[in-house]
Amino acid sequence: MLSALAGLPLEISTGQALSSVTAVLRGGKPGKTVLLRGDMDALPVAERTGLPFSSAIPGAMHACGHDLHTSMLVGAARLLSARQAELPGNVIFMFQPGEEGNGGARLMIDEGVLDAAGERPVAAFALHVSSGLLPLGVAASKAGPAMAAADTLHVTVRGRGGHGAQPQHASDPIPVACEIVTALQMMVTRKFDVFDPVVVTVGTFHAGTTDNVIPDEAAFVATVRTFSPQSRDLIRDASLQLVRQLAAAHGLTADVEYVDGYPVTANDHAEFGFAAKTIGDVFGDHRFITAPNPLTGSEDFSYVLEQVPGAFIMVGACPPETDAATAPFNHSPEAIFDDKVLPEGTALYAELALQRLAAGSC
């Protein structure tokens, strides 16, 4: 990363908590500051694309396209550096590791990335490629909630073990934990507005060792997805209450923990409108789609958008010979990202910064 930026007129600093890189380009004319973010994680996935440039590291793959984000942001740094003298303001290039579940954006914020130019950015933008859903070179996003908050619910129901043939002499935690799982699903349908949805999915359930032994405990973990701070607060409180009271109703106890993950990724309405217009100006109106619904995945660019108005934009990188509707999506071991998106993503990063700085603080 540092070698790719070498020789450019950038003020570069590296992170302490992560292998992050922050680079500031100071324009030759006075103006505001804009932030551009590119993340750079791989994933613990064994690649099965068969491409000649497949990952050479067993069990690691750029299955979410973050290597493209990094490359495009380096390209934008070079394009904008070449126009430094005419640039009306500053650009912060945020090269961020730790997006895939480690909250790298939050750690970079704690280390001062938002103040790297001396003043807070007036806008922040992130691009994210997609191996499916969108045709090559087509961008999409929406105003307001664009991606979900992702939290985790950890539950351990504690009973008293015994012989499977004599359940009356034990306190079986398994049926109680199963009832809690079912009740969580019913709560989502009865307590929440269908137009402000909540998704609760139990991904792990562990109990017991064999068929004729009642265990002392049963445990499960669920992912919780929400699209507004209000629903997020409500599901947090309601799920904790439901677990404890259902366990108590059966004479058992439950340890329950609600772990906050990434917040809702919410695009500022004005900055979303600016980004959509910029994409239309650069590539044509046919290359931008206003998404009808948010994505149910999550993004830690949400931490940036909590403090700086901005927009998170998806960009199609599906090979043109592949049907985007059925192509393996991000995180799949068979996900393929077409490198033809690189020059267009680079140009879009640069143009977002140029036009937003030209617009000033409005």
Helix (H) or strand (E) holding 39: strand 29-39
Mean pLDDT, residues 295-304: 96
Cα–Cα distance measured from residue 62 to residue 232, given in angstroms and rounded to the nearest whole number: 31
**pLDDT at site 362:** 55
**3-class secondary-structure state, position 179:** helix
Dihedral angle, C-alpha 242, 248, 253, 258, nearest 10 °:
10
pLDDT tens column, 136-158: 999 999 999 999 999 999 999 99
Residue 201 has pLDDT above 60, yes or no: yes
The residues pairing with 259 across neighbouring beta strands, listed in sequence order, are: 152
The residues pairing with 128 across neighbouring beta strands, listed in sequence order, are: 314
**pLDDT at site 174:** 98
CATH numbers and ranges of domains, the chain = 2-146+264-359 (3.40.630.10), 149-262 (3.30.70.360)
Estimate the share of the chain in helix, then strand, then coil, as percent rounded to the nearest 5: 35, 30, 35
Residue 1 has pLDDT above 90, yes or no: no
What is the DSSP-derived secondary structure letter of residue 152? E
User: Exposed (0-12), middle (13-18) or buried (19+): which is 59, by Cβ within 10 Å?
Assistant: exposed
Q: HEC states along 289-357?
A: EECCCCECCCCCHHHHHCCCCEEEEEEEEECCCCCCCCCCCCCCCCCCCCCCHHHHHHHHHHHHHHHHH
Tokens of 113: 């990335």
pLDDT tens column, 265-288: 999 999 999 999 999 999 999 999
Contacts of 46 (CB under 8 A, 6+ apart): 58, 59, 61, 333
